[in-house]
């Protein structure tokens, strides 16, 4: 495609709009993430010598076009919602304006960054919502779809306000909090469970969580109690026991009673094992005496919604609006802006408008210029500010929109000007046929 543009001298300014069509099951909002890695891609995008050598070796492309690619950089403008903002279906999350070839060539990287990370952050928000005040930790790296997915899901868990991640690599990469746990193999590598527990609390006297289900959960709890009492004699406090299998509701009730009977009311119960927002919500509403949750696989792959229907569509080229009319896949033409209004402490609705028009009274524009002439705006966004922003957005979101099942749609309308533009565009294209 790019070679055809190049040969036809088609490299005027193009605007592409990245948005989501509809929602995955049980969702009525997106928590936006992936903007930082997308912008980083735009900033540093180039064909390396290796890339160029590969393209030359495949010989399908014109050598002169490959020369052009070897010096290609992204020189355009990007307007985007910040990470942690909430977005709704059809709203542009990013708009890129650049010479056509540049704007086209970054498509896959932008969609790849923003689609998965937005799915992961949205999943994290749902899990946090289900857990309420109870801290949640992230243990999903082992089952993530690759190393990137593991790290970015951990980053999203930090934006959502999780307590920590077990992914040390992600912690080092992004500066987020870690949390540790012991595995069954740790218990198994010792002659007996009691020795394993004693060795573990020696290592981390202030933050020990003992995994009690390797052989028999209630027997494991008895041994944890023994160790907790030994710790008390050293003026140390066992932090928690962890349940990772079986019926977590009835086990947590039994374990709580055992701990309380042993005057260990301060020892917490942490639950893990195939958890997600649905099972956590059930445990919470059943009153399970669980003090914290760990989520892994179902979080890290966003198991009930492993993708979102993201698109990156040409909306303007060389001053001419573009749109697409395929059934169920229409695109709103032209560069746009999204305005959000609030009333009585809650968001009242969004308006998708053309980029130039006068904003609705009292509304906030959501797309900010984050890159100009291929250079990012300083100062760049941080995980901390994304976390604060997300928490505030969620406070303002109508609660029926956040329901974990069958949420109510949030009102998003098109401005009169955009509707009229869309109608003109459809009429023109239809005449063209």
Report 130-169 residues binding a second copy (CB under 8 A): 141-150, 152, 167-169
- Does position 329 bind a second copy by CB under 8 A? yes
Selected binder of a second copy within 292, 323, 334, 335 (CB under 8 A): 323
Which residues ranging from 236 to 255 are in contact with a second copy (CB under 8 A)?
Answer: 244-246
In contact, 109 and 38? CB cutoff 8 Å:
yes
Nearest to 84 by CA among 158, 139, 11: 158
Q: Which is nearer to a second copy, 19 or 402 (CB)?
A: 19
Reference 422, options 410, 411, 430, 432; nearest CA is 430
Alpha carbon separation from 243 to 250, 256, 296 (Å, rounded): 11, 12, 14
Dihedral sign computed on CA atoms, order 213, 215, 217, 218: negative
Can residue 431 be called a binding residue for a second copy (CB under 8 A)? no
C-alpha–C-alpha distance, residues 389 and 84, integer Å: 6
Q: Any contact of residue 235 with a second copy (CB under 8 A)?
A: no
Q: Which range in 78-86, 111-119, 261-269, 380-388 contacts a second copy by CB under 8 A? A: 111-119
224 binds a second copy (CB under 8 A): no
Looking only at residues 195 through 214 of this chain, which bind a second copy when binding is defined by CB under 8 A? 199-200, 202-204, 213-214
* Nearest-5° Cα angle at 288, 282 to 291: 110
Of 108 and 380, which CB lies nearer to a second copy in the complex structure? 108
User: Which of 128, 256, 313, 387 forms a contact with a second copy (CB under 8 A)?
Assistant: 313
Beta bridge partners of 351: 339, 413
Comparison of 173 and 229: residue with beta carbon closer to a second copy: 173
Binders of a second copy among 266-295, rule CB under 8 A? Answer: none
Residues 22-61 interacting with a second copy (rule: CB under 8 A):
50-51, 54-55, 58, 60
Q: Is 322 in the site for a second copy (CB under 8 A)?
A: yes
DSSP assignments along 98-112, one per residue? EEHHHHHHTHHHHHH
CB of 409 to a second copy, least distance (A): 22
Per rule CB under 8 A, count of chain residues that contact a second copy: 94
- Pick from 242, 261, 101, 142: nearest CA to 184: 242
Per rule CB under 8 A, is residue 108 in the interface with a second copy?
A: yes
Determine the Cα–Cα distance for residues 430 and 339; give it in Å rounded to an integer.
Answer: 30
Does 433 contact a second copy by CB under 8 A? yes
Q: Looking at residues 363 to 382 of the shown chain, list those that interact with a second copy (rule: CB under 8 A).
A: none
CB of 38 to a second copy, least distance (A): 12
> Of 425, 433, 426, 389, whose CA–CA distance to 125 is shortest?
389
């Amino acid at each position: 495609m790019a070679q055809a543009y190049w040969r036809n001298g088609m490299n005027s300014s193009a605007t592409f709009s990245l948005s989501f069509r509809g929602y995955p099951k049980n969702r009525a909002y997106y928590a936006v993430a992936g903007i930082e890695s997308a912008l980083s891609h735009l900033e540093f995008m180039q064909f390396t010598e290796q890339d160029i050598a590969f393209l030359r070796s495949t010989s399908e492309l014109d050598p002169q076009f490959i020369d052009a690619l070897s010096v290609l950089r992204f020189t355009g403008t990007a307007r985007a919602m910040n990470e942690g903002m909430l977005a709704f279906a059809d709203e542009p999350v990013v708009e890129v304006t650049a010479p056509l070839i540049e704007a086209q060539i970054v498509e896959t990287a932008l969609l790849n960054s923003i689609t998965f990370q937005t799915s992961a952050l949205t999943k994290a928000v749902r899990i946090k919502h289900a857990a309420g005040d109870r801290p949640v930790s992230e243990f999903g790296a082992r089952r993530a779809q690759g190393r990137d997915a593991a790290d970015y899901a951990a980053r999203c868990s930090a934006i959502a306000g999780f307590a920590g991640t077990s992914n040390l690599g992600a912690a080092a990469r992004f500066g987020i909090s870690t949390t540790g746990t012991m595995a069954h193999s740790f218990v198994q590598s010792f002659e007996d469970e009691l020795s394993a527990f004693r060795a573990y609390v020696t290592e981390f006297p202030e933050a020990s969580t003992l995994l009690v289900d390797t052989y028999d959960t209630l027997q494991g709890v008895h041994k944890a109690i023994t160790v907790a009492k030994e710790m008390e004699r050293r003026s140390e406090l066992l932090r928690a026991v962890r349940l990772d299998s079986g019926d977590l509701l009835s086990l947590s009730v039994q374990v709580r009673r055992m701990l309380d009977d042993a005057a260990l009311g301060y020892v917490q119960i942490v639950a893990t094992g195939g958890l997600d927002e649905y099972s956590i919500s059930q445990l919470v509403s059943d009153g399970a005496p669980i003090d914290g949750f760990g989520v892994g696989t179902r979080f890290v792959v966003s198991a009930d919604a492993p993708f979102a229907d993201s698109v990156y569509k040409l909306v303007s080229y060389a001053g001419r609006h573009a749109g697409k009319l395929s059934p169920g896949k229409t695109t709103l033409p032209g560069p746009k802006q999204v305005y959000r209004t609030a009333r009585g402490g809650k968001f009242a609705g969004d308006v998708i408008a053309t980029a130039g028009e006068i904003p609705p009274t009292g509304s906030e524009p959501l797309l900010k210029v984050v890159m100009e002439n291929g250079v990012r705006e300083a100062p760049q966004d941080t995980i901390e500010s994304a976390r604060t922003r997300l928490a505030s957005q969620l406070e303002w979101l109508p609660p029926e929109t956040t329901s974990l099942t069958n949420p109510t749609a949030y009102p998003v309308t098109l401005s009169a000007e955009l509707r009229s533009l869309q109608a003109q565009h459809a009429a023109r294209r239809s005449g063209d046929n």
